[in-house]
Amino acid sequence: MLQIQDTLVSLDLAERFFCCDLSKCMGECCIEGDAGAPITREEYEKLKEVLPVVSDDLTPAGRKEIEERGVGYVDEEGDLVTTIVNGRDCAFCTYGPGGVCLCAVEKAYREGRIKDFRKPASCALYPVRLTRYPSFTAVNYHRWKVCRAAEVLGRKEGIRLYQFLEGPLTEYFGKEWYDELKLACEAYLDEYGG
């Protein structure tokens, strides 16, 4: 583990290679699983706020599910998560060229239709998951078979997980935190290889 400010970061962020390969996975992390993406109460409110902007981008089933259940719900583990369709697909999915699943919220953000919200942090940081404890936050790599192509491409391109997530980690934790993480990862890799 690496201690960065008030976080404990898994060595996987330094050791593992990772680079999303949408041409291979087709955005499967947004359509597989048995619960929605973890969201905070603030993100829940933000999703309600941006819903009119993204509604036309959603699938008919996603729109219907949100109309009936809202933008999120509390899952079996007691976590607030995005609404899902048919017990698996995120209701905020939209589909791009070639059938690639994309986040409708992020699509609208990139197109300038939303100014101050890209998507929930758990989505932006994926495959990293955060677990908050009273005195620290654990930063861990969530390995999942649907991301195997990302591991292969990351190794081929020489991109480590902490490098791939530089933008989202900086946005979430701040530049000073990320700079400390980068130095710690580089020092660890210099000493232990990997």
Mean pLDDT over each residue of the chain, to the nearest integer: 91
Domain shared by 39 and 60, yes or no: yes
Domain shared by 31 and 102, yes or no: yes
Examine the fold and report which residue of 117, 151, 173 is the final residue of a domain before the chain moves on. 117
- Work out how many domains the chain is built from and give that number: 2
pLDDT recorded at residue 194: 61
Domain that holds residue 133: 1-18+127-193
Q: Which of 157, 118, 140 is nearest to 20 (CA)?
A: 157
What is the residue-wise DSSP string for 26-76?
TTGGGT-SSS--B--HHHHHHHHHHHHHHGGGS-HHHHHHHHHH-SEEE-T
In a domain, 176, yes or no: yes
pLDDT band at 151 (very low <50, low <70, confident <90, very high): very high
Residue type, 106: E
Both structure tokens of 143: 């390995």
Judge whether residue 176 has pLDDT over 90.
Answer: yes
Q: Which of 190, 145, 186, 193 is nearest to 166 (CA)?
A: 186
Domain shared by 92 and 167, yes or no: no
Domain shared by 9 and 62, yes or no: no
pLDDT digits (tens, 9 = 90+) for 15-67: 999 999 888 877 777 777 677 889 999 999 999 999 999 999 999 999 999 99
Domain shared by 37 and 88, yes or no: yes
